[in-house]
Amino acid sequence: MQLVLTDRSDLSAGIEFGVMSPVTWRLADLFAKQAFLLRGLGWGGMPLHAIQTDLDRGRLVRLSVPGMPQGSFSMPMSAVYGTATPPGPAGRWLIERLKICIRDAAAEKDVDAVA
């Protein structure tokens, strides 16, 4: 059973991200998903930084899932604002930081399927 992190809002209604199995269990909390994985109640993708210790200690293992890209998923992101009201210093910092995170994540491949 694939454990899938779900969004409780209507923002992603009807959109699936990384769902590979016809049998899923949806959770709205990443830490709950990790707890389920650690107890052997399914499999799913997790951010590497959140589970690195579990991998190192053998509590979780990496899986090779047919059809799932090895290493990471990518999701398109956009920063949208009106030309009459461009972002201020904090908004510009956030946009630059997101660009850096995307570049670094692509280089490190920071999401893996684990069980």
Sole residue written with tokens 């999701």: 75
Say if residue 111's pLDDT is above 60. Answer: no
Is residue 48 within 8 Å of 27, Cβ to Cβ?
A: no
Which amino acid, 24? T
User: Per-residue pLDDT tens for 26-84?
Assistant: 888 899 999 999 999 999 888 888 999 999 999 999 888 776 666 655 667 788 899 99
3-state DSSP assignment of residue 25: strand
- 108 token code pair: 């490190």
pTM over 0.75: no
List 3's β-bridge partners, or say none: 25
Does pLDDT of 19 surpass 80? Answer: no
Q: Residue 115: is its pLDDT beyond 60? A: no
Across the range 85-102, mean pLDDT stands at 91
Burial of 43 (0-12, 13-18, 19+ CB in 10 A): buried
